[in-house]
Amino acid sequence: MKIHINFTVSTLSNVSFGMVAGDIELPEMPMTGDLVHFLRPDMPQIGFLGVLTAQGRSFRVQDDVPLAVNLGFLKVNSEEDAKVLMDYFEEKFNLVAFVY
């Protein structure tokens, strides 16, 4: 099932760096509190464990992908780490990263 996801990327010092969004295939719509795993052997080893938690879901009328889930916040040590992980999500999962 195709689901639209989004999450915010920020540093541990609460500097908001950007957002990642796009459509992914999941076996079903995550419920609030469910974990979504992005672990891959080639994932950058910079403090992110590869798991995000569904914070809320929505149903979008008049959209090609009507199911959406917010995966909350991904916190990293630095802006450099944020950029590395955002590039990873773009390259490996075909998501779009928006740097603020």
For 40-59, what is the mean pLDDT?
92
For 6-20, what is the mean pLDDT?
94
Residue with tokens 């891959």: 40
pLDDT of 63 > 90? The answer is no
pLDDT above 70: percentage of residues in the chain: 100
Check residue 14 and report its DSSP letter.
-
Confidence of residue 91 (pLDDT cuts 50, 70, 90): very high
Per DSSP (E only), the strands in the chain are 2-11, 16-25, 35-37, 51-53, 56-59, 67-76, 96-99
